[in-house]
Structure 1
């Protein structure tokens, strides 16, 4: 039997087993067709409270579990994602609207996140520090307790598991709230994988829901750390609430990443990279190439070839057709994308490809004659839109690339690697790719943005994960009690 064939999860949430939630249930819809794929439970504030209380009780025993046992469970969960790719791929394709290679990438990274997290369990978690007193003095890392994870719809499996797995590895319990539009790929699939792996009951809870469910999780006094991935607007609210409550919030937010194409770049490869950066998963990626900055000497040819790429990319149902782009997640997202394109045209930009849609299928779009004030250039679109801006000098390229409230990812294409590196040094960004486009993620790499893109690298790699999901405790030991003059 494959992982999701057991229908015990239908209409339920995962909280001390598969249970009926106070918040009712909701359909899981396929954006390409509108068909109902299943139903899942929806968590409300009462469900969050019960889950957190259960997680608090389970966490103390889980933290005392040997590192070998925790590692074994994480490795087993990772193997589930590896061994059931053919079955799980279809679920991710149909629920998220992504093409099969995108689903394969999610499953591969999900497995790697579990394997890397398994290795965290045996990492040194402290150090001996000097003391002026005759005693042993230690700085050691301790699990925070219950970690609240809030994840979005676009790459739901990756953007949930990258917090869930390391938090569990380090001895925490987790309450996960995936986006209700992708509650299976973003949450219930993870619950089933860890259920199969033998995770003790109560250590992981999965409550799909909307903003109200997320707010209840952020504000619950039993959740000292929140790991949030989503829009900058929502992230600001999470950060404000967490700050008021004196709890840590790790925020991975939006972006409007620049791809800088220097005059010596290989044009064929540059255009291909630019098309992938803007159009992969319909542009619904925080790292999407939102701004193409191209040297004026090659700009006309770059734009012409990018238009050819955009016009040649097939758009359709990724479950039933071989396509490059599937549907946007819902009508609200489609309308926002189209409003930005329309406003850009009204402001003087030219649509050279795309700019139109059928139902939720938006054509890959290329915009020319943009300025720094063009809406689809200045704002995060989160759709398959590639605005192209020209520059004349490296100083101008650096100024344009840095002229954004965001700072997530940056790509620079050039045959002169050191020139590209020196340019990158002038542009604030959490991630830099030289001779690659802006979209990339690996379980071993630190991930995060600066400025309006978030609170820095809070995911990926041992150092970032240990810092995110543990507290530092000072501990001293001495043989006898000191005499004091009191």
Structure 2
């Protein structure tokens, strides 16, 4: 079929090829409510089938030469680059991504496959010193089958960043995409890899809800789970994985702080802050949730931020609006609850605070204090909460008071003073003179505390650590003898 011709995948999923199952669900636009297509819905029994296929295919794939693996991944990257508009359209239609965000995400997916092609060719071990007449080495070997559970907000990249390196390192993958973005976050990637020459069974897609994810976590032949999503779901997966003695790589939520020091350029700071809070309607784990602004700049900063928010609009991506919809009514209501509870507790709305259908207006809350919902909770919507501080000690306490620790931005005139200040703040990612949202395939990515289990993505070292096991091997020219 033509690459991603809807007639070839509609009402199907990818299990060793395009397959129908017992039930289907519709892919629906959150912007318009329009039905975009349908896909097959998996059950726990289908997870077992997917793992059967993956186990059977993995041994041959692991034995495939690194050059051949790299060639498949390079071709996938080239296909992604050649069909960027197709993926971007699905991201706009199915995930509610504004066109700029959709194009950016599509490009990131291609970069993950380029990096993975290089990972396939990387050294995979080291020679060890030994006190005996032998060769001693440590080498990395595939774990076997990797289970990937991915979210709705950046569905393609947050699936690809686990799929691509896992494949590069000789594993098979079973992917459970979010049911709200199954096409962009699952079926499209399967079509790309099929066209690139990935053998059948090495990647399998099991669309479905929490029951399908639980079956994947419980499956004894899947020793590694890579999960991106909410902290409560991540805690449950981590607890279950611990019971089963399997590894769970957990990239979870965030309530990220953007610090504006007293020597910062306040105009530039407000621009960075608006981008950090409002990009993709704030539905990013790295979104700037808390703006911590020195009291000398506070009034001007909130004024500028509110002006920027008031000039932004939310609407269907096809309209060209810079912000799209919240993914569904449940998430929208959660966002609005945080706003209203914060206002009831003393915060002031300087912009937004209202919605039309799933389109939530960019919102600025001033005078947000610790204890208020907007300060304590991950909002996952286009809401900027602003808090003032007066002393460095107060600032450090405000930053570190959150149980989350994913991304931190510090805006300052003196960049090196900001860098030194960052040593006192707990975060997996730190950006000096930038906002909190950023990602590059080659850069380590991960959070601490309630944001996850540390760096598990990005760059060769993190990916090799995530998706392989270490094996110690010794070699002697003759059989060792012992006094027994």
Indicate the TM-score class for this superposition, using the shorter chain for normalisation: over 0.9
Residue 473 of structure 1: SS of its match in structure 2? Answer: strand
Structure-to-structure mapping, 1:179-194, within 5 angstroms: 179-194=178-193
Contact 2:58 2:202 in 1 (8 A): yes
Instruction: Provide the residue aligned with 2:136 in structure 1.
Output: 137
Q: Distance in 1 between matches of 2:454 and 2:2?
A: 38
Answering whether residue 12 of structure 2 is matched by residue 21 of structure 1, we say: no
- Which string of whole-angstrom CA distances, capped at 9 and with x for unpartnered residues, describes residues 361-387 of structure 1? 000111112110110111001001111
Instruction: Provide the residue aligned with 1:456 in structure 2.
Output: 454
Structure-to-structure mapping, 1:309-320, within 5 angstroms: 309-319=308-318
Instruction: Provide the residue aligned with 2:376 in structure 1.
Output: 378
Structure-to-structure mapping, 1:328-367, within 5 angstroms: 328-367=326-365
Cα RMSD (Å): 0.9
Q: Distance in 2 between matches of 1:88 and 1:455?
A: 30
Instruction: Provide the residue aligned with 2:79 in structure 1.
Output: 80
Instruction: Provide the residue aligned with 2:243 in structure 1.
Output: 244
- Which string of whole-angstrom CA distances, capped at 9 and with x for unpartnered residues, describes residues 137-166 of structure 1? 110000000000000000000000000000
**Pick from 398, 401, 414: which aligns with 1:400?**
398
Q: Give the deviation of 1:44 after TM superposition.
A: 1.2
Q: Give the deviation of 1:27 after TM superposition.
A: 0.4
Residue 250 of structure 1: SS of its match in structure 2? Answer: strand
Instruction: Provide the residue aligned with 1:12 in structure 2.
Output: 12
Q: Distance in 2 between matches of 1:133 and 1:306?
A: 67
Instruction: Provide the residue aligned with 1:234 in structure 2.
Output: 233
Q: Distance in 2 between matches of 1:248 and 1:298?
A: 46
Q: Distance in 2 between matches of 1:381 and 1:88?
A: 27
Residue 453 of structure 1: SS of its match in structure 2? Answer: coil
Instruction: Provide the residue aligned with 1:46 in structure 2.
Output: 45
Q: Which runs of 5+ in 2 are unaligned?
A: none
Q: Give the deviation of 1:207 after TM superposition.
A: 1.1
Structure-to-structure mapping, 1:192-341, within 5 angstroms: 192-319=191-318, 321-341=319-339
Q: Give the deviation of 1:2 after TM superposition.
A: 5.7
Contact 2:313 2:362 in 1 (8 A): no
- Which string of whole-angstrom CA distances, capped at 9 and with x for unpartnered residues, describes residues 382-441 of structure 1? 001111000011221111111100000000000101111111110010000000000000
Contact 2:342 2:372 in 1 (8 A): yes
Q: Distance in 2 between matches of 1:246 and 1:450?
A: 21
- Which string of whole-angstrom CA distances, capped at 9 and with x for unpartnered residues, describes residues 61-97 of structure 1? 0000011110000011111110012222211101110
Q: Which runs of 5+ in 1 are unaligned?
A: none
Residue 141 of structure 2: SS of its match in structure 1? Answer: strand
With the length of structure 2 as denominator, give the TM-score of the two structures. Answer: 0.99
Q: Distance in 1 between matches of 2:79 and 2:91?
A: 15
Instruction: Provide the residue aligned with 1:439 in structure 2.
Output: 437
Residue 274 of structure 1: SS of its match in structure 2? Answer: helix
Answering whether residue 426 of structure 2 is matched by residue 420 of structure 1, we say: no
Contact 1:2 1:87 in 2 (8 A): no
Residue 165 of structure 2: SS of its match in structure 1? Answer: helix
Residue 98 of structure 1: SS of its match in structure 2? Answer: coil
- Which string of whole-angstrom CA distances, capped at 9 and with x for unpartnered residues, describes residues 175-207 of structure 1? 000000000111001000001101000100011
Q: Give the deviation of 1:132 after TM superposition.
A: 2.0
Q: Distance in 2 between matches of 1:63 and 1:154?
A: 32
Q: Distance in 2 between matches of 1:353 and 1:121?
A: 49
Contact 1:2 1:84 in 2 (8 A): no
Instruction: Provide the residue aligned with 2:475 in structure 1.
Output: 477
Q: Distance in 1 between matches of 2:468 and 2:357?
A: 46
**Number of residue pairs the alignment of both structures matches:** 484
- Which string of whole-angstrom CA distances, capped at 9 and with x for unpartnered residues, describes residues 195-242 of structure 1? 110100010001111111100001100000000000000000000010
Q: Distance in 2 between matches of 1:87 and 1:472?
A: 39
Q: Distance in 2 between matches of 1:236 and 1:390?
A: 32
C-alpha change, 1:369 and 1:6, in structure 2 (3 Å) is closer
Q: Distance in 1 between matches of 2:61 and 2:243?
A: 29
Contact 1:135 1:478 in 2 (8 A): yes
Q: Distance in 1 between matches of 2:460 and 2:332?
A: 38
